[in-house]
Structure 1
Amino acid sequence: MPDAISVERPAVADGAALWRLAKDSGTLDVNSSYSYLLWCRDFAATSAVARGADGEPVGFVTGYVRPDRPRTLLVWQVAVDAGHRGKGLAARLLDALTARVAAERGLTAVETTITPGNTASERLFTSYAARHNAPVEREVLFGTEQFPDGPHDPEVLYRIGPLALPSA
Structure 2
Amino acid sequence: MTAAPADLLIDHPTVADGAALWRMAKESGKLDLNSSYSYLLWCRDFAGTSAVARGADGEPVGFLTGYLRPGRPETLLVWQVAVDAAQRGRGLAARLLDGVTARVMAEHGVTSVETTITPGNTASERLFTSFAARHGAAVEREVLFDREQFPDGPHDPEVLYRIGPLHHPSH
Alignment TM class, shorter chain as reference: over 0.9
Give the partner amino acid of 1:116: P
Cα contact 2:5–2:92 (8 A) shared by 1:
no
The match for 1:72 among 72, 75, 82 is 75
Cα contact 2:67–2:79 (8 A) shared by 1:
yes
The match for 2:26 among 23, 32, 36 is 23
The yes-or-no answer on 1:50 pairing with 2:53 is yes
The yes-or-no answer on 1:122 pairing with 2:134 is no
TM-score (norm 1): 0.97
| Paired residue secondary structure (1:20) | helix
Partner of 1:135: 138
Partner of 1:102: 105
Partner of 1:158: 161
Query: What is the total number of aligned residue pairs between the two structures?
Result: 167
In the alignment, the residues of structure 1 paired with residue 103 and residue 89 of structure 2 have an alpha-carbon distance, to the nearest angstrom, of 24
| Identical columns (%) | 80
CA-to-aligned-CA distance 1:70-111 (integer Å, 9 cap, x gap):
110000000000000011000000000001111111110000
Superposition deviation, residue 146 in structure 1: 0.1
The match for 2:84 among 81, 84, 90 is 81
Aligned pairs for 1:25-40 within 5 A: 25-40=28-43
In the alignment, the residues of structure 2 paired with residue 29 and residue 70 of structure 1 have an alpha-carbon distance, to the nearest angstrom, of 25
Q: Which runs of 5+ in 1 are unaligned?
A: none
In the alignment, the residues of structure 2 paired with residue 41 and residue 19 of structure 1 have an alpha-carbon distance, to the nearest angstrom, of 14
Superposition deviation, residue 2 in structure 1: 3.0
The match for 2:93 among 90, 93, 96 is 90
Aligned-CA RMSD value: 1.0
Give the partner amino acid of 1:118: N
In the alignment, the residues of structure 1 paired with residue 5 and residue 98 of structure 2 have an alpha-carbon distance, to the nearest angstrom, of 16
Superposition deviation, residue 3 in structure 1: 1.1
| Paired residue secondary structure (2:64) | strand
Cα contact 1:103–1:166 (8 A) shared by 2:
no
Which of structure 1's runs of 4+ aligned residues deviate more than 4 A?
none
Give the partner amino acid of 1:148: P
TM-score (norm 2): 0.96
| Paired residue secondary structure (1:133) | coil
Give the partner amino acid of 2:24: L
Partner of 2:63: 60
